């Protein structure tokens, strides 16, 4: 799958880890974070039906203190760990004030 415009370069390892943790906790999966360490497609780890996706998205919004845009709530984006992490990093950066340059 091609990265979405504007999201190719962003993606922190911390964001990836937090998404995996939220995924496990919000869907009450009986796995450890390490078990999903190499997983890129979240939909491979669990069946993501519409209710599961909504629970996962709500948990992500709470964890990262952001709102996911409705057009981004597709199984392709929500189920793809790298795209989702890049999108969350981009949204989080938009909400932060720019760093001040030293005087």
Domain boundaries defined on the chain: 13-94
CATH code, residues 13-94: 1.10.1200.10
- Residue 85's SS3 state is helix
CA distances from 31 to 5, 25, 36, 45, 53 (A): 33, 10, 8, 10, 18
What burial letters (b/e) apply to 29-51, b meaning 16+ CB within 10 Å?
A: eeeeeeebeeeeebbebbebeee
User: What string of pLDDT tens digits covers the 103 residues of the chain?
Assistant: 344 444 444 568 899 889 888 988 888 877 766 666 555 556 656 666 778 788 888 999 999 999 888 888 777 777 788 888 999 998 888 765 444 444 4
Q: pTM for this one? A: 0.71
Q: Give the whole-angstrom CA distance, residue 76 versus residue 45.
A: 14
């Amino acid at each position: 799958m091609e990265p979405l415009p504007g999201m190719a370069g962003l993606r922190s390892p911390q964001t990836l880890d937090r998404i995996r943790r939220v995924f496990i906790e919000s869907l009450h999966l009986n796995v450890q974070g390490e078990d999903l360490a190499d997983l890129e497609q979240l939909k491979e780890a669990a069946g993501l039906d519409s209710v599961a996706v909504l629970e996962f998205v709500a948990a992500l919004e709470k964890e990262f203190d952001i709102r996911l845009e409705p057009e981004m709530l597709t199984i392709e984006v929500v189920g793809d760990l790298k795209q989702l992490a890049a999108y969350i990093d981009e949204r989080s950066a938009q909400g932060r004030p720019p760093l001040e340059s030293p005087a």
